[in-house]
Amino acid sequence: MGKRVGLEVSLAVAEAVKLANVDVVSAYPITPQTHIVEELSIYVANGELDAEFIPVESEHSAMSAALGAATAGARVYTATASQGLALMHEILFIVSGMRMPLVMTVANRALSAPISIWNDHGDIMAERDIGWVQIFAENGQEALDLTLCAFKIAEDKRVLLPMIVNIDGFTLSHVIEPVIIPDHAEVDAFLPPYTPVLRLDTENPVTFGPVGVPEMYTEARKQLEQAIIGSKPVVEEVLDGFGAAFDRHYKLVEQNGKPGAKTRFVTMGSLGETCMTAVDELVAEGQDAGQTRIRLWRPFPEEEFLAACAGAERLVVIDRALSPGAVCGPVASELKSLFYGRPDAPEIVNLVAGLGGRDVTVREFKEMFAMAVSGKLSGNYTMWGVESHAS
Amino acid sequence: MSKQAIMAWEDLALGAAILKPGNAKELRTGDWRSMKPKLDEEKCIKCALCAMYCPEFCISVNAEGFYHPDFYFCKGCGVCANECPKEAITMVKEGE
Amino acid sequence: MLRDVDLSGYEKITAKNIPWEKFITSGHRACQGCAEVLAMGMVMKAAGPETIVCNATGCMEIITSPFPQSAWSVPWLHVAFENVAAVASGVESANRALERKGKLKKRPKVIAFAGDGGTADIGMQALSGALERGHDFVYVCLDNEAYMNTGIQRSSSTPYGAMTTTSPPGRKSIGQHTWKKNMAMIAAAHEIPYVATASPAYHLDLMNKVRKALTVEGPAYLHIFATCPTGWRSDPAKSVELCRLAVQSKVFPLYEVVGGRYIITQKVKKPKPVTEYFKLQRRFRHLTPDSVEYIQKRVEEEYARLEAFEKATAPLEEVSEPSTES
């Protein structure tokens, strides 16, 4: 039943990729992702992983080579962060449009300028519309487990879409955590070998990536839309199946704190764990506090989120990214759209916090709670913790 | 709502791939033509250079060994006439 | 670095055994007299059916794949403009892994096609990376000397003096004011086993270079000259003639670089003046006699330099291998 070890989370992700028996890894170094692909290149060099490791000359080529390899019928993995993800931007749309189920880890990191190697979600929030299934891990075990699940979800014949597993840069990627690494046999039983539906095959020649004329482009986008909408039940099914096989259980949306709490934090990623501690303390202090954690970001789990927030009168939404000039942060924007016109719509208090590696502590979450409850966080959003002459 | 689409989205192959190899041969490009090549079989030495240099890949050999274009595709560019070492091909106006 | 290249598997094409089977069908939508699609068709005839094609964005992608028709009867993949060498790297690596793991019977050949813009400008980085990493594939640059697909804008492969829509001649400009980037030599500087230039007017030479490029283990680069009647403002009927004149005037010399050794494959003994090549194209019509004289001189110098490379990299006189017995 696997083994429990203390392991840097990046290496735990690499273990998952090795257990998935990938055929091709195509990657370019970028902090804080690099430890993952360094480890994979070691596995390949040692013969522990029978795969081709393509040390490409840029992230743009990392994604391009990954797509080429996937189209040739291989199980493919890559990882990136921040500027690297931004450089891939163009190709990300093509991968999903061509329905190639490769898996990528994004070790979330802020975008320049000024250059920052530290964590926030600015990189992935700029990639909301790429048509990939996108999920967020909160801890090391989850990073490993969701990576395994990602291959199974992406390659499911009902999905056939690429998938990103987000792990917070440094906060997760570089932290040593106790992690259970499953056995190869257990993983093989959970994750079947990949059999592509269409591939570059000289016996059955297919034209991939033709010119999308106006008479079919809309229909091609409809196909993609239906695929990503249809992926939600598959994500749920795979996570449930993983739970049954490994006894570690993951839902699309999680909740904690006081059941039915009127004021609930909404978090995504590793801040959720800090927030959880704050919520536990608040509840212990007699406060009406709860928390909803979004795990699946794309497709957005609407029903699950609404159910997890039933009875809430106020959501304190933490956005770890700034959408400059927008009405509010990206997550809050999503939630306002979701609640618009609903009679049970809660007040949405939005905080943009934790940018570029800025810590958000338990005490700060409790401060946010107090301010939100007393109506001191009005306006569309508040940039939390900004040092200013005005404050 | 005007109907502009070629097909329903459900009928598109995965990722909008094209599954019929070489089905561009359905396309009639011969109607681009204003001039057409005419072969003088007396002069032709059956060297096949016209076929080699045809950018439409539409010139093939017949039972007698002569090379003729498929006018379903021939765009009338005139490369064959220009390259013929024996000047056996002349370009004439379409319809003449 | 000079090295021996194993060409033992090379099957030569002669006038007697020309492969005629085509893998790009008629019904493609190239302009009349397009020498680029002609060259690509010749490459495919020489390559045969066991080939996967990766195609950069550009004329050749557009004219062969508007949905729902494809002119391709081999597996074909288009991703984007600047990355075809990276895409081909992925395909080649996947095939290698799948063959090793018993999931693929035989590794097919991989050819990447791109235009001059997709190669010498936006695709240069991906190409350099793929050549340096040593993937076993053939990269073919189809050079029509400008961005024709977007409407004849200059590239770094546009020749000196040429008129394009972004290098217009005017009171203060001659037109393109830089010399054509030497992509074949840039490729050769990666010290890959095989590099060659080719012209569809010399079809046997071209197809044999394809065969050699496919024979060598590792990356090969072919730089193929291709008239664009639309962009060069030339008579479509003269397309192949222009491909020949460019060689005969030394404007586009045909050569190979095999394991670092330069070999001129079409020696130009009685060169034609560049004016013979220029006069069939309106893109050079504005050039003054002074400019033409400058170009003529530089073309000759470049050719002389190529001859010097050939001499400098030629194998030394045959020497018998020293005996290993003592």
Q: What contacts A304, CB < 8 A, 6 or more positions away?
A: A251, A252, A253, A296
B45 and chain C: CB distance < 8 Å anywhere?
Answer: no
Q: Give the CA dihedral C87, C93, C96, C100, nearest 10 degrees.
A: -140
Q: What is the pLDDT of residue C323?
A: 72
Q: What is the pLDDT of residue C316?
A: 85
| SS3 state of residue A285 | coil
Cβ-contact C247, C268 below 8 angstroms: yes
Do residue A159 and residue A235 come from a single domain?
yes
Tens-digit pLDDT profile for residues A117-169: 999 999 999 999 999 999 999 999 999 999 999 999 999 999 999 999 999 99
Q: Which domain holds residue A304?
A: 253-390
What is the mean predicted confidence (pLDDT) over A88-116?
A: 98
Task: Categorise residue A74: left if φ over 0, alpha if ψ from -120 to 50, beta otherwise.
Answer: beta
The domain boundary, picked from A182, A215, A246, lies at: A246
3-state per-residue secondary structure call for chain A: CCEEEEEEHHHHHHHHHHHCCCCEEEECCCCCCHHHHHHHHHHHHHCCCCCEEEECCCHHHHHHHHHHHHHCCCCEEEEECHHHHHHHHHHHHHHHHCCCCCEEEEEECCCCCCCCCCCCCHHHHCCCCCCCEEEECCCHHHHHHHHHHHHHHHHCCCCCCCEEEEEECCCCCCCEEEEEECCHHHHHHHCCCCCCCCCCCCCCCCEECCECCHHHHHHHHHHHHHHHHHHHHHHHHHHHHHHHHHCCCCCCEEEEECCCCCEEEEECCCHHHHHHHHHHHHHHCCCCEEEEEECEEECCCHHHHHHHCCCCCEEEEEECCCCCCCCCCHHHHHHHHHHCCCCCCCEEEEEECCHHHCCCCHHHHHHHHHHHHCCCCCCCCEECCCCCCCC
Q: What band does B96 get if pLDDT is binned at 50, 70 and 90?
A: confident
Do residue A188 and residue A163 come from a single domain?
yes
In whole angstroms, what is the distance from residue A309 CA to residue A260 CA? Answer: 8
Q: Map tokens 């020749």 to a residue.
A: C159
Helices H / strands E in chain B, number of each: 2, 4
Q: What is the pLDDT of residue B95?
A: 81
A220 and chain B: CB distance < 8 Å anywhere?
Answer: yes
In whole angstroms, what is the distance from residue A364 CA to residue A384 CA? Answer: 9
Q: What contacts A217, CB < 8 A, 6 or more positions away?
A: none
Q: What is the pLDDT of residue C199?
A: 98
Say whether pLDDT at A1 is over 80: no
Q: What is the pLDDT of residue C325?
A: 62
Do residue A224 and residue A258 come from a single domain?
no
A216 and chain B: CB distance < 8 Å anywhere?
Answer: yes
Q: Do C240 and B53 touch (CB under 8 A)?
A: yes
Supply the CATH number for residue A343's domain.
3.40.50.920
In a domain, C215, yes or no: yes
Tens-digit pLDDT profile for residues A174-210: 999 999 999 999 999 999 999 999 999 999 999 999 9
What is the mean predicted confidence (pLDDT) over C304-323?
A: 87
- For chain A, the domain total comes to 2
pLDDT above 70: percentage of residues in chain A: 99
Tens-digit pLDDT profile for residues A282-302: 999 999 999 999 999 999 999
Q: Do B91 and C237 touch (CB under 8 A)?
A: yes
Do residue A76 and residue A216 come from a single domain?
yes
Q: What is the pLDDT of residue C319?
A: 66
What is the mean predicted confidence (pLDDT) over A56-73?
A: 98
Q: What band does C269 get if pLDDT is binned at 50, 70 and 90?
A: very high
- How many beta carbons lie within 10 A of that of residue A219, not counting itself? 19
Tens-digit pLDDT profile for residues C213-245: 999 999 999 999 999 999 999 999 999 999 999
What is the mean predicted confidence (pLDDT) over C163-189?
A: 97
Q: Do B25 and C25 touch (CB under 8 A)?
A: yes
pLDDT above 70: percentage of residues in chain B: 98
- How many beta carbons lie within 10 A of that of residue A387, not counting itself? 5
Say whether pLDDT at A89 is over 60: yes
3-state per-residue secondary structure call for C267-301: CCCCCCCHHHHHCCEHHHCCCCHHHHHHHHHHHHH
In a domain, C5, yes or no: no
The domain boundary, picked from A203, A225, A246, lies at: A246
Do residue A99 and residue A135 come from a single domain?
yes
Tens-digit pLDDT profile for residues C13-43: 999 999 999 999 999 999 999 999 999 999 9
Residue of A nearest to B5 (CA): A215
In whole angstroms, what is the distance from residue C52 CA to residue B22 CA? Answer: 14
Tens-digit pLDDT profile for residues C82-126: 999 999 999 999 999 999 999 999 999 999 999 999 999 999 999
Q: What is the pLDDT of residue C318?
A: 67
Name the CATH code of domain B30-93 (choices 3.40.50.2300, 3.20.20.70, 3.30.70.20, 2.170.130.10): 3.30.70.20
Do residue A178 and residue A301 come from a single domain?
no
Tens-digit pLDDT profile for residues C291-303: 999 999 999 999 9
Nearest Cα of chain B lies from the Cα of C78 at a distance, in angstroms, of 11
Q: Do A65 and C89 touch (CB under 8 A)?
A: yes
Say whether pLDDT at C326 is over 60: no
Q: Do B16 and A197 touch (CB under 8 A)?
A: no
Q: Which two tokens stand for residue C314?
A: 């030629």
Say whether pLDDT at C51 is over 90: yes
Say whether pLDDT at B48 is over 90: yes
Q: What is the pLDDT of residue C116?
A: 98
Residue of C nearest to A94 (CA): C79
Instruction: List residues bridging with A347 in a β-sheet.
Output: A314
Q: Can you say how many angstroms the Cα of residue C315 is from the centroid of all Cα atoms in its chain? A: 25
Q: Which two tokens stand for residue A319?
A: 């956005």
Q: Which domain holds residue C180?
A: 35-325
Tens-digit pLDDT profile for residues A327-384: 999 999 999 999 999 999 999 999 999 999 999 999 999 999 999 999 999 899 999 9
Q: What band does A43 get if pLDDT is binned at 50, 70 and 90?
A: very high
Supply the CATH number for residue A184's domain.
3.40.50.970
Domain ranges of chain B: 30-93
- For chain C, the domain total comes to 1
Supply the CATH number for residue C139's domain.
3.40.50.970
Closest CA to A206 of C34, C74, B96, C85: C74
The domain boundary, picked from A220, A246, A272, lies at: A246
Q: What is the pLDDT of residue A361?
A: 98
